[in-house]
């Protein structure tokens, strides 16, 4: 493991910044995320929470919006990275040791982990990190049956919500 100071310094993040780790989702269920990420990036740059913070975006390895979201990269306010592999349904995709270390260190050093109904919530809970799950659609207005909040009724997420293991947010 890498200590926090070294992890942050290697990415141009001041040691006193709060680290908001946001893990993007797969392309099929992430249409709401770009608008929300742009707003969160704006809020971090404007010090909306009254303390210096860095929004650290770890993009899904197969993120088709990589180039759009990479444009948000603006250290020390916003750091954008992409995982290089993804173990999907038990297939060996060759996740590199370095990628695994980066993933683990990000979880270890995050002050909060944000995602949209991802199993990364479980990983964050192993490291006893507060987990915030987005349950709103940002600037999109889909029918309620297609909205983000519906996914928290899925079996693998419902238990996390019902037990209070994750906190749902329904607006900015």
The reported pLDDT for the residue numbered 25 is 85
pTM of the model: 0.89
The reported pLDDT for the residue numbered 27 is 63
Please write down the HEC assignment for all residues of 3-36: CHHHHHHCCCCCCCCEEEEEECCCHHHCCCHHHH
Instruction: For 10-159, list the strands marked E by DSSP.
Output: 18-23, 53-59, 78-82, 112-115, 131-134
The contacts of residue 126 (CB under 8 Å, 6+ apart) are 107
C-beta of residue 30 within 8 angstroms of C-beta of residue 116:
yes
Cα separations in angstroms, 64 against 24, 46, 60, 134, 153: 11, 28, 9, 20, 26
Name the token pair of 28: 């099929």
C-beta of residue 136 within 8 angstroms of C-beta of residue 150:
no
Nearest alpha carbon to residue 87 among 79, 98, 78, 96: 96
**Tell me: the pLDDT tens digits for 120-166?**
999 999 999 999 999 998 887 877 777 888 888 888 889 999 999 99
The reported pLDDT for the residue numbered 139 is 83
d(CA 13, CA 33): 23
**Tell me: the pLDDT tens digits for 88-118?**
444 445 567 888 899 999 999 999 999 998 8
The reported pLDDT for the residue numbered 75 is 95
d(CA 146, CA 11): 37
The reported pLDDT for the residue numbered 65 is 76
Nearest alpha carbon to residue 72 among 103, 43, 101: 43
**Tell me: the pLDDT tens digits for 5-53?**
999 999 999 999 999 999 998 766 677 888 999 999 999 999 999 999 9
The reported pLDDT for the residue numbered 119 is 86
């Amino acid at each position: 493991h890498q200590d926090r100071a070294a992890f942050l310094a290697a990415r141009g993040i001041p040691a006193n910044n709060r680290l908001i780790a946001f893990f993007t989702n797969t392309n099929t269920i992430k249409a709401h995320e770009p608008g929300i990420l742009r707003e969160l990036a704006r809020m971090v740059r404007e010090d909306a929470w009254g303390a210096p913070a860095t929004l650290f975006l770890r993009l899904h390895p197969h993120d088709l919006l990589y180039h759009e979201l990479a444009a948000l990269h603006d250290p020390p306010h916003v750091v954008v990275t992409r995982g290089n592999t993804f173990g999907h349904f038990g297939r060996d995709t060759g996740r590199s040791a370095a990628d695994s270390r980066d993933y683990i260190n990000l979880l270890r050093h995050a002050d909060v982990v944000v995602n949209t109904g991802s199993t990364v919530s479980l990983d964050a809970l192993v490291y006893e990190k507060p987990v915030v799950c987005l349950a709103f659609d940002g600037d999109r207005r889909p029918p309620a049956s297609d909205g983000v909040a519906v996914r928290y009724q899925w079996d693998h997420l419902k238990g996390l919500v019902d037990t209070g293991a994750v906190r749902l947010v329904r607006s900015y």
